[in-house]
Amino acid sequence: MLDALFFRRWLTATAAVVDREAERLTELDSPIGDADHGSNLQRGFRAVAAVLEKEVPDTPGAVLTLAGRQLISTVGGASGPLYGTLLRRTGKDLGDAPEVGPTRFAEALRSGVDAVAALGGAAPGDKTMLDALIPGVDALDGPSGSFGAAREAALHGALATTPLQARKGRASYLGERSIGHQDPGAASSALLFEALAETAESTETPESTETAESTDGSRG
Amino acid sequence: MADGPLVGIVLVSHSGPVAEAVAALATGLAGGGNTAPVAAAGGTADGGLGTSAELISAAASRVDGGAGVAVLTDLGSAVLTVKALIAEGDELPDGTRLVDAPFVEGAVAAVVSASAGADLASVEAAATEAYTYRKV
């Protein structure tokens, strides 16, 4: 089962991965965006990590809603309300449950992804973060789903945005000139799944086999 | 109907100077008399280009007199941040509405109609109608 601590560790790990990759995200955002995606997300997730050190929400839902709200307040670009909505809607869907199984988490994450699609008015193939989020959550959902598979699927989805023409956001103004560049939002979405897989793997230590069973989808 | 509180207007741009200038333009064109409260929420809190949820929430509280608040935005993150704040439920005053309108023309229409005492639905209609005015 996944508890509040697991979700705090996921978001702290996301902050670390975003720190590590911020320069690359901003480089991806230079040719087709306004060259601030890495620094914006870095500011947002650092604020998330900071608030999670100060406040200690005791349910998965509360951790995610707090983090989502923090992203909306601090990012300053479109990725703030989008990632904020993703986490907050996922958190609200989880409600007050003290622990959730991976299957339940995948369902909630899907409602978060749906909310992102509704907020941005984007569809798969528009060269947006959805092109990584949807394959990621698809891979997580279902009986054989795993965090490792979700990481692979989201990464693959992000890389597959390169040949697409952007139809949403700042990059869409470039028309055909957006082709040939990976979407920075999809790249950062893949990082969320990377941090999730890292967190699950570090939870699966030999002395806690019970947790390992629950994170590979055998329960929940 | 100009006796009660007037609808407040919040102008959200990626740029602080743009939001301020459009607020000044709309207020100036609304003419004399009792002008509806208008607040600019442009750029990030540190003066950069972008959107600040804090500035938007503060601006909405400033112009809220109980008759509702009409929020007009320019691009991308301004639109998404306001939508996310409205979905949040408790971040903006009750009766806050994101108005689908061109930023400059819609702001003028909103401030003029709000200053004349129009209710929130009428302010929204006036601002949205600015889309139908073709220039060529």
Spatial separation of the C-alpha atoms in residues A28 and A36, rounded to whole Å: 10
- pLDDT of A208 strictly over 50: no
What residue type is A100 in one-letter code? V
Q: State yes or no: pLDDT of A55 exceeds 60.
A: yes
Are A81 and B54 a contacting pair at CB < 8 A?
Answer: no
A215 confidence band (pLDDT: 50, 70, 90): very low
Res. A217 pLDDT band, cuts 50 70 90: very low
Q: Which amino acid is at A65?
A: T
Q: Average per-residue pLDDT in chain A?
A: 92
Contact A67, A11 (CB under 8 A): yes
- Please state the ipTM of this predicted complex: 0.87
Nearest CA to A121 out of B83, B131, B42 is that of B83
**Cβ(A132)–Cβ(A116) below 8 Å:** no
Query: Is this structure's pTM higher than 0.80?
Result: yes
Q: Which of A41, A64, A75 to mutate to test the interface with B (most CBs of B within 10 A)?
A: A75
Which of the four CATH numbers 3.20.20.140, 1.25.40.340, 3.40.50.720, 3.40.190.10 does domain A2-202 have?
1.25.40.340
Distance of alpha carbon A102 from the chain centroid? 15
Cβ within 8 Å, pair B53-A77:
no
Size of interface A-B (CB pairs under 8 A): 49
Helix (H) or strand (E) holding B39: strand B38-42
Query: Residue B88: what pLDDT?
Result: 80
Percent of chain B with pLDDT over 90: 88
Per-residue pLDDT of chain B (136 residues; tens, 9 = 90+): 457 899 999 999 999 999 999 999 999 999 878 999 999 999 999 999 999 999 999 999 999 999 999 999 999 899 999 999 998 888 899 999 999 999 999 999 999 999 999 999 999 999 999 999 999 9
Contact A91, A62 (CB under 8 A): yes
Beta-carbon separation of B84 and A120 below 8 A: no
Token match 């749906």: residue? Answer: A114
What is the band of A146 on the pLDDT scale with cuts at 50, 70, 90?
A: very high
Domain ranges of chain A: 2-202
DSSP reduced 3-state for A83: helix
CA pair distance B78, B71, nearest whole angstrom: 10
Report the pLDDT averaged over residues A134-150.
91
A41-73: b (≥16 Cβ within 10 Å) or e? bbbbbbbbbebbeeeebebbbbbbbbbbbbbbb
Q: How far is B87 from chain A (nearest CA, A)?
A: 9
